[in-house]
C-alpha cells in the first residue's frame, strides 16, 4: 500500500531554514499537501498542490515535489512555527494518505 | 466567518456506537465534498471517509480500516454532516475531525471532538 515517510523530528534555530521531507515511490507524480498542527489545535493547510500557499499563510512557507520526495521549507523559522507538520497525498488504492508527521522544535 | 463546528463524542463502551455532527458556515456547504479524519493519541492523521456533494450523487467513500462499520451522511438544508461508527473498538479512540475537501486535500478543519472507547 501507499505510504508517506517523514522524519519524526527536527530542531532548528530561530531565523534558520527548516526543510521537512516527505517520501514515497513516484511521489512527484502526485499532488502533495502540507498541514501544520500546533499543540492542542486542529491541522491547518499551509501548502496545497505541491507548492501553492493558501491565503493568509506567510510567504516563508514554500513547497516542492519531485522524484520520490516532497519538501516543505520554512525560511526564517520563527518560534511560532513550532508544531507538527504532516504531508498528505491521494493514491488510487489507499485514497487519502498522511505521513507520520514531523515535530519541528525551534530552539 | 468560515468555520466548521463539531458536536458529539465522549466516552463510549466497546461494541457501542458513536454519532458525530459537523456544521459548516460562511461558505456554500452544499458545493463541497466533506470528510472525516481521525487522530489516535500520539498517532498520525487517518482519513476515514467522505460524503460527496448532491451533484456527485451524495456518493460516499470509506477507508478499509472502518469499512462495514461506518456511515457518513449530510443534510445540506442544515449545512450539516454526520458520522456514524458502529461496533466500536478500543482502537477507535481518537480525536475526530471534520474537514472540507479541496481537490486532493483538505482546506478547512473543524476543532475536533474526542471519542474515547473504554470498558
Q: Is A96 within 8 Å of B111 when comparing Cβ atoms? A: no
First to last CA, chain B: 40
Q: pLDDT tens digit string along A22-65?
A: 999 999 999 999 999 999 999 999 999 999 999 999 999 999 99
Q: CB distance from A97 to chain B under 8 Å?
A: yes
Residue A23's Cα: distance from chain center in Å? 11
Residue A31, chain B, CB below 8 Å: the answer is yes
Give the pLDDT confidence of B38-48 residue by residue, as tens digits: 999 999 999 99
In the predicted structure, residue B14 carries a pLDDT above the cut 90: yes
Q: Is the C-alpha dihedral spanning B75, B79, B80, B81 positive or negative?
A: positive
Q: What is the pLDDT of residue A64?
A: 98
Q: Does B57 touch chain A (CB under 8 A)?
A: no
Nine cell digits for residue A77: 523559522
Position A93 pLDDT exceeds 90 = no
| Mean pLDDT, rounded, for B93-104 | 94
> Is some CB atom of chain A closer than 8 A to the CB atom of B61?
yes
Q: Which residues of A touch B35 (CB under 8 A)?
A: 96
A67 phi and psi angles, rounded to 5 deg: 65, -120
B111 chain-A contacts, CB cut-off 8 A: 42
Of A31, A90, A101, which has the smallest distance from its Cβ to B44's Cβ?
A: A101
For residue B102, pLDDT over 90 is answered with no
Average pLDDT, chain A: 96
**Of B98 and A93, the one with more pLDDT:** B98
pLDDT for residue B54: 87
What is the structure's pLDDT at A73? Answer: 98
Chain B residues in contact with A54 (beta carbon < 8 A): 107
Predicted confidence at residue B103, as pLDDT, reads 82
Q: Which residues of A touch B103 (CB under 8 A)?
A: 31, 48-49
Q: Between A30, A45, A98, which is nearest B46 by CB? A: A98
Is pLDDT at B16 greater than 90 in this prediction?
Answer: yes
The pLDDT mean for chain B works out to: 96
* pLDDT recorded at residue A1: 85
Asked if B83 contacts B6 with a C-beta cutoff of 8 angstroms, the reply is: no
Task: Write out pLDDT tens, residues B41-86.
Answer: 999 999 999 999 988 898 999 999 999 999 999 999 999 999 999 9
Amino acid at each position: 500500500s501507499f505510504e508517506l515517510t517523514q522524519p519524526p523530528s527536527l530542531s532548528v534555530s530561530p531565523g534558520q531554514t527548516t526543510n521537512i521531507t516527505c517520501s514515497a515511490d513516484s511521489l512527484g507524480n502526485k499532488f502533495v499537501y502540507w498541514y501544520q498542527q500546533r499543540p492542542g489545535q486542529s491541522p491547518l493547510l499551509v501548502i496545497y498542490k505541491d507548492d501553492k500557499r493558501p491565503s493568509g499563510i506567510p510567504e516563508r512557507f514554500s513547497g516542492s515535489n519531485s522524484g520520490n520526495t516532497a519538501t516543505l521549507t520554512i525560511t526564517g523559522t520563527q518560534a511560532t512555527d513550532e508544531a507538527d507538520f504532516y504531508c498528505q497525498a491521494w493514491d488510487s488504492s489507499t485514497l487519502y494518505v498522511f505521513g507520520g508527521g514531523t515535530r519541528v522544535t525551534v530552539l | 466567518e468560515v468555520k466548521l463546528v463539531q458536536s458529539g463524542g465522549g466516552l463510549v463502551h466497546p461494541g457501542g456506537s458513536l454519532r458525530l455532527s459537523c456544521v459548516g458556515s460562511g461558505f456554500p456547504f452544499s458545493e463541497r465534498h466533506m470528510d472525516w479524519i481521525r487522530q489516535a493519541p500520539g498517532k498520525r492523521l487517518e482519513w476515514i471517509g467522505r460524503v460527496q456533494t448532491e451533484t456527485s450523487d451524495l456518493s460516499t467513500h470509506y477507508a478499509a480500516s472502518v469499512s462495514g462499520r461506518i456511515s457518513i451522511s449530510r443534510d445540506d438544508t442544515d449545512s450539516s454532516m454526520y458520522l456514524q461508527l458502529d461496533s466500536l473498538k478500543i482502537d477507535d479512540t481518537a480525536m475526530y475531525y471534520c474537514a472540507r475537501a479541496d481537490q486532493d486535500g483538505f482546506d478547512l478543519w473543524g476543532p475536533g471532538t474526542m471519542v474515547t472507547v473504554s470498558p
